Structure 1
Amino acid sequence: MSRRKDQRQKTILDRLAISPTLRVGRLAEDMGVTTETIRRDLEELTAQGLIARTYGGAMLRQPAEPALSERHKELVEERAAIAAAAVPLLAGAHVVMMGSGATTTQVARRMAQEMGQITVIAHSVSVAATLSANPTIQVLMAPGLYHPGEGAMHGSATLRFLSDLTADWCVTGASALTPAGPLDALIEAGDVYATMLRQSARHMVVADGSKIGRIATARYGDWADIDTLVTDVAPHGPLERALTLGAVEVCVAEVRT
């Protein structure tokens, strides 16, 4: 691949990380090349599995998120380090709302070890079961439609339940971290997390560095809505600028190797 083509295709991928979809005509105009050149670039990126073609343009390919049971086996050290960095930030909280996911389950495990005399509002069976190891933590389990792959409750009953409660903090995971905000692969989970944000005084996102630069379906908030991001890889580029603009405190956990 020529250096010029390589740079052009990298630019396309960088722009798709910011804008979910791009048009061929606009790309050609911005880069000063023909639409045929852009179409060839998009065809090559599609063949590599990096993007998906749309009518007249392209979007980043959205990898299918594995079931929670599989995610629990991945990036264990990274997620444990994130949890170790996140839990001290919750000191003084009396009520915490928690989303589902492998990282939030690690946070719940750390909370069970280090916190007590608190109430946790959960919609994840994994989070609730993990917290139950500490008898001084009261768990309120949200009702709803059970999602077997995620092991969590979703739907209108879940949203109504959460809307009647308030919390000092909410802690949510993310399938993707983009300049536009945190996203989840499940639209239903995105609805739950957006409700948790509205009902909580402070908001924390916990997500490992593999989520940076990904794309997912449901954006559940702007970075201006988030107080703290705890991750294991320092954000850079457009994401770093968006976090700074949103006044998000970024805590980078140290992973022991």
Structure 2
Amino acid sequence: MVRVKTPISKQQRQEQILAEVRANAAVRIADLADRFGTSTETIRRDLDLLGRQGLLNRTHGGGTPPLAFEADIRDRHRLMSRERWRIAQAAAALVEPGEAIMIDAGSTTLHLAIALADLNRPMVAVTNGLAIADALGKCAQIRVIVCPGELNAPQSGLVGPETWQFLKRLNANRAFIGASGLTTEGPTEAESSMAWVKRAMIERARTTSLLIDHGKFNVDMLEVVCPLSALHDVFTDQPPDTALVEALSGAATGLTVVA
């Protein structure tokens, strides 16, 4: 976060806090206090008020977006771009020439699509993400198959019964998915329509990798996409806390933390 240098009103501060919450999976009191140059108690009161108004979910150390809220993919793509690029590069290295893969619409998976195009390897890629299809299409060696469906414009993704039915006809070596959050129960998602696409990809792929940055650890959203045991591995940029590490280990889900 960039620290605010000029004094702002209480209303302006709360509006900027909401912008941070909507752009990120979670915000912490200490970080916000440092950004706005105020006390942690002031930030705590701000978060309590915004929570009572239903504008965020109040957590012990900060706040998270409402359960059914997901920021626009264009906003999310700009966040933690370095961390997500490292995650994407590590995941892309898994793909062997000639494999068939599935990639769901998302910000971190968009980084993956760019990394895969850079590798210039022959493969078949199935996606419901328009931005992802465009990124993959820049590599002549990648055959890109775009799912049909109804456009979810903020997520640049195609969703709905047609998308789900189309995916059910296909097979893949690997699926790569993102998520709004990751808890000991499994990856979580703000939008049901997006969650159903992920489930279809998981079902039709031999292995599934979750790509997620550390800001989404222990973030609850509206739906649990699948149990941790449905994931072959998780790629992230920082080690999760002990409870999450133990849950992943207990589910026999691999964990790769990129440097």
Shorter-chain TM-score above 0.5? yes
- Unaligned 5+ segments in structure 2 are 1-44
Question: Which one has a bigger Cα radius of gyration?
Answer: 1
Match of 2:78 among 73, 76, 79: 73
Match of 1:165 among 157, 165, 170: 170
TM-superposed deviation, 1:52? 6.0
TM-superposed deviation, 1:90? 2.3
Q: Partner residue of 1:219?
A: 224
- Unaligned 5+ segments in structure 1 are 1-42, 54-59
Letter matched to residue 161 of structure 2: S
RMSD: 2.2
Please say if residues 93 and 169 of structure 1, whose CA atoms lie closer than 8 Å, have aligned partners that are also in contact.
Answer: no
Letter matched to residue 91 of structure 2: A
Q: Please state if 1:192 is matched with 2:197.
A: yes
Please say if residues 149 and 163 of structure 2, whose CA atoms lie closer than 8 Å, have aligned partners that are also in contact.
Answer: yes
Letter matched to residue 137 of structure 1: I
Q: Partner residue of 1:22?
A: none
Q: Please state if 1:62 is matched with 2:66.
A: yes
CA distance in 2, matches of 1:92, 1:246: 29
Q: Partner residue of 2:119?
A: 114
Match of 1:149 among 151, 154, 157: 154
**Change in CA separation of 1:155 and 1:223 when aligned onto 2, cut-off 3 Å:** same
SS at match of 1:203: strand
Q: Partner residue of 2:142?
A: 137
TM-superposed deviation, 1:51? 4.0
CA distance in 2, matches of 1:45, 1:76: 27
TM-superposed deviation, 1:84? 1.4
Letter matched to residue 62 of structure 1: P
TM-score with structure 1 setting the length:
0.75
Aligned length: 207
CA distance in 1, matches of 2:154, 2:65: 21
CA distance in 1, matches of 2:190, 2:238: 21
CA distance in 2, matches of 1:131, 1:51: 36
CA distance in 2, matches of 1:160, 1:51: 34
User: Percent of counterpart pairs with the same letter?
Assistant: 25
Deviation readout 1:118-169 (Å, 9 max, x if unpaired): 0000000011000011011000000000011001100000000000001000
Match of 2:130 among 125, 129, 134: 125
